[in-house]
A and B are shown apart, each in its own frame.
Chain A
Amino acid sequence: MVTDDAAQGGTAAGQDNNAGHQGGAGHNMVQLITPAGERVSHPEYDPWVKDVSDEQLCSLYEDLVVIRRIDKEATALQRQGELGLWPPLLGQEASQVGSVRSLRDDDFIFPSYRENGVAYCRGVDLADILRVWRGAASGGWDPYTVNMAIPQIVIGAQTLHATGYAMGIQNDGADSAAIVYFGDGATSEGDVNEAMVFAASFQVPLVFFCQNNHWAISEPVRLQSHTQLVDRGAGFGIPSMRVDGNDVLAVMAATRVALDRARRGGGPTFIEAVTYRMGPHTTADDPTRYRDPNELEDWAAKDPIGRVHALLDRKGLFTEEFEAGVRTKADTVARELRAGCVGMPDPEPLDVFKHVYSTPNSWLDRQQDHYSRYLASFGDPEGATQEEGAR
């Protein structure tokens, strides 16, 4: 009998860093850059990233750094009371950058709430990324301008939306694909399992991109699954890959394999990106209540940014000039993010009624009319004076 940890093939810290040494059902973890920054060859996956130039590698490094900076700035904004909540993605930068940078503009992304790095790379306006977390809207951006849905907070619900969207792509005869992001906890949800049934039955062009960050708030991944998550795919007849989620190049290779299959009519793919949530679930969470600090230390040694830094160093690309350029870019983005956040206009009181329906609704119109009159009874048509007792 195997222990829970052994069945997971690496829930315990330190078991995930070497490709080819995983427990479970024989899925080796694809890795192209070791934590020490060594580019290791992989006959099956190397061809998928052979076009990635030094320049592109530098650009990927910049993405990773900028996203970490965005995450840090947003966390600070929450601490300063400018955001109600923030879900940090610290540690998961490579999973997000490697996957989103593999997509075409006409591919459609369905994120959970933690894909803020994906949103940045997709070109979502910086203030729009924060809009939901500031409480200024329930969704930050127009999905059709960036081909990325608004964040989904109900765990796993978006996997069905992605499947339906991919059914639509298939009906339209297009060669684009959809990709859906979700976590290890989501794999327990009925919706995720139903999505895999539908996607497999209809062979839709979809990438199931599971970031196994090992923790669903306080629940370890072994509580969600007694097998490696990647083994779930086989039960649905979906080709699956397990990839080092802290290795931006390996993630890119795996995502490209999946997208290629999707575009050729080969149906869905399941990718388990093995990564780690270095921060809390959200700014309201306290991971010291449930997490062994040694685990954090082990994963810090497998940092997604550190290894690309080391690789660039080995290649002689990590010059002072390059480093300064990246730092400037990150600082600029952080400044814009902060300015966009604090400068975001507050919604108007009657915005609460907006967009519930796309056509007039007699119930809501009446409520809005009555509330407008109520606000007007303060002698202040803008309703600005709403402190209790002001009436």
Chain B
Amino acid sequence: MTQMTFARAINSGLRRSLDNDPKVLLMGEDIGTLGGVFRVTDGLQKDFGKHRVVDTPLAESGIVGTAVGLAYRGYRPVVEIQFDGFVYPAFDQIVSQVAKMHYRSRGAVKMPITIRIPFGGGIGSPEHHSESPEAYFAHTAGLRVVTPASPQDAHTMIQQAISSDDPVVFFEPKRRYHDKGEVDESLDPRSAPPMGQARVVTDGSDVTLVAYGPLVKTARDAATAAADEGVSVEVIDLRSLAPVDFATVEASVRKTGRLVITHEAGQSGGLGAEVAASITERCFYHLEAAPVRVTGFDVPYPYSKVEMHHLPNLDRILDGVDRALGRPNSLSGLEG
């Protein structure tokens, strides 16, 4: 076990993938000499060369589109989109090409492409640098969408994503890049829990709290605070957003009877809606209350002086837990 930052854990996972498979190559803006704007690829070009860690022209569609061609040729490209808000120029290549090529070619052409996207807010950035666009991709057939919440998962899941024969959109919670944790670099990603599997972070019996990416830490803190009030919260880290491991969430809700989902992305049409609907379909008679969503608002990501109002924090999550439990809360007395 080694103590390292989230960013370093990804770097180490990328290094292992580059070491293990000569067909793996990294592409993106500023990822070579600079090592990426978040230094996630620091030192990799120096060690693996310019043909395996490729600084590309500033064209996101170009980066993803050429990755499609490299995959056609048998490569396993890992592309970095510098910030969440810059992925949209590549949207067509991701949705119409990366996601559909296997289907369109009737399985002849595999697209083992990993698209790394630092996402989420809370770092005081200007616009287009703090978005949570995961629902667009989770809605797209043909893609897998995952997001790690701990350095160990970051290290393991990036390797699992790269070795996946299906394309993976890999969301990295950028405000956790500098968080440290214990990482076992010797862990074989093939024997670790698969990236499609959700994880019960803290056991609890009163309410199930579902989170992913940057808010897993916040959810865990909320569970600790709730415990002080005698409320037992089971926190689940989804890890995979497409497909969601509903079996794990369902098992928890059958036990607790109550469900709260939290994410930074806006509420409408988001992952919370999908989790609430699917769990309601699967175990309606075990629910003691309507599922509760604690999410960002349906607004463009706000300027940094007010972003703390947009982002679910510990207190808003606890307020949601209170709603699920029927305890006094900010919406008490309000119908619907």
Contacts and interface: CB of A to CB of B under 8 A. Distances in A.
Contacts, number: 145
Contacts of A162: 69
B59 A197 contact: yes
Interface string B89-103: 100110011001011
Given A359-B164, A362-B243, A165 B70 contact: yes
Contacts of A149: 72, 109
A351 to B, nearest CB: 9
Given A138-B104, A357-B102, A190 B61 contact: yes
A167 B108 contact: no
B65 A168 contact: no
Nearest to A166: B69
Given A139-B105, A195-B65, A164 B96 contact: no
A132 to B, nearest CB: 9
B62 A359 contact: no
Contacts of A197: 57, 59, 62
A169 B70 CA distance: 9
Given A154-B96, A162-B69, A167-B70, A191 B104 contact: no
Contacts of A166: 69
Given A160-B65, A197-B57, A361-B243, A355 B102 contact: yes
A198 B142 contact: no
Interface in B40-86: 51, 56-57, 59, 61-62, 64-75, 77
B107 interface: yes
Contacts of A269: none
Interface in A136-170: 137-139, 142-144, 149-150, 154, 157, 159-169
Contact of B96 (A157, A354, A359): A157
Given A143-B72, A165-B72, A359-B166, A137 B106 contact: yes
By DSSP majority rule, is chain A's interface helix, strand, loop, or mixed?
A: helix
A140 to B, nearest CB: 9
A166 B10 CA distance: 29
A161 B165 contact: no
B228 to A, nearest CB: 36
B69 A160 contact: yes
B213 to A, nearest CB: 19
Interface centre among B66, B102, B108, B109 (most CB of A within 10 A): B66
A139 B96 contact: no
A167 B71 CA distance: 11
Contacts of A169: 73
A226 B68 CA distance: 31
Given A144-B108, A356-B142, A164 B69 contact: yes
Nearest to B71: A164
B37 interface: no
A160 B166 contact: no
Interface string B129-163: 00000000000011010000000000000000000
A142 B105 contact: yes
Interface residues of B, number: 48
A322 B56 CA distance: 53
B297 interface: no
A164 B63 CA distance: 9
Interface centre among A138, A159, A162, A355 (most CB of B within 10 A): A355
Interface centre among A144, A191, A201, A357 (most CB of B within 10 A): A357
A171 interface: yes
B102 A358 contact: yes
Nearest to B107: A355
B62 A194 contact: yes
Contacts of A167: 66, 69-70
A164 B70 contact: yes
Contacts of B105: 139, 142-143, 150, 355
Contacts of A363: 242-244
B142 to A, nearest CB: 6
Interface centre among B61, B73, B89 (most CB of A within 10 A): B73
A185 to B, nearest CB: 16
B44 to A, nearest CB: 16
A304 B333 CA distance: 80
B320 interface: no
Interface centre among B59, B69, B92, B165 (most CB of A within 10 A): B69
A178 B93 CA distance: 19
Contact of A160 (B66, B103, B144): B66
Interface string B152-194: 0000000000001110000000000000000000000000000
6 contacts: A139-B105, A149-B109, A168-B73, A197-B57, A356-B103, A359-B165
Query: What 4 A-B pairs are tightest by C-beta distance, nearest first?
Result: A164-B69, A160-B65, A168-B73, A164-B66
Given A138-B106, A144-B108, A198-B56, 13 more contacts: A137-B106, A138-B100, A150-B109, A154-B97, A161-B97, A164-B65, A168-B73, A172-B73, A197-B62, A358-B165, A358-B166, A363-B243, A364-B243
